[in-house]
């Protein structure tokens, strides 16, 4: 009887550990946004050197990228944004100019 209880406890512990590791792995894969941040920085570089026409729209994998000029509080801003279509995560950079 004790062997059966010990076996069940070991199985439950390993199952919980497996579920925890799986959750951590899925979260780390979904939040991997390094390449899209690099793309936004590259677009900022192109804009700063006059090689990017506005507005600019693009799509990469599950990300929708847009670069738009907006007037906010009397000042011009260029908004660089990327929105993940799977999990609604959004990354935004802005450049101000007068």
DSSP one-letter string for 36-84: HHHHHHHHHHHHHTT---SSEEEEETTEEEEEEEEEETTEEEEEEEEEE
pTM listed for this prediction: 0.67
DSSP state of 31: T
- Both 43 and 89 in a single domain? yes
Tally of structural domains, the chain: 2
- Both 60 and 21 in a single domain? no
- Both 26 and 38 in a single domain? no
Q: Which two tokens stand for residue 46?
A: 């192109």
- Both 5 and 49 in a single domain? no
Predicted pLDDT of residue 10? 94
- Both 76 and 94 in a single domain? yes
* Domain span including residue 16: 1-30
- Both 50 and 86 in a single domain? yes
The pLDDT tens digits for 20-79 are 999 888 877 767 788 899 999 999 999 989 999 889 999 988 899 999 998 878 888 999
For residue 8, what are the CA distances in angstroms to 2, 18, 22? 10, 15, 21
CA 94 – CA 82 distance, rounded (Å): 12
């Amino acid at each position: 009887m004790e062997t059966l209880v010990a076996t069940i406890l070991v199985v439950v512990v390993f199952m919980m550990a497996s579920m925890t590791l799986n959750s951590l792995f899925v979260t780390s894969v979904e939040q991997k946004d390094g390449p899209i941040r690099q793309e936004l920085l590259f677009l900022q570089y192109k804009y700063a050197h006059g090689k990017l026409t506005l507005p600019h729209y693009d799509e990469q994998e599950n990300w929708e990228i847009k670069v738009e000029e907006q007037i906010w509080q009397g000042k011009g801003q260029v908004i660089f944004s990327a929105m993940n279509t799977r999990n609604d995560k959004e990354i935004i950079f802005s450049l101000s100019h007068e």
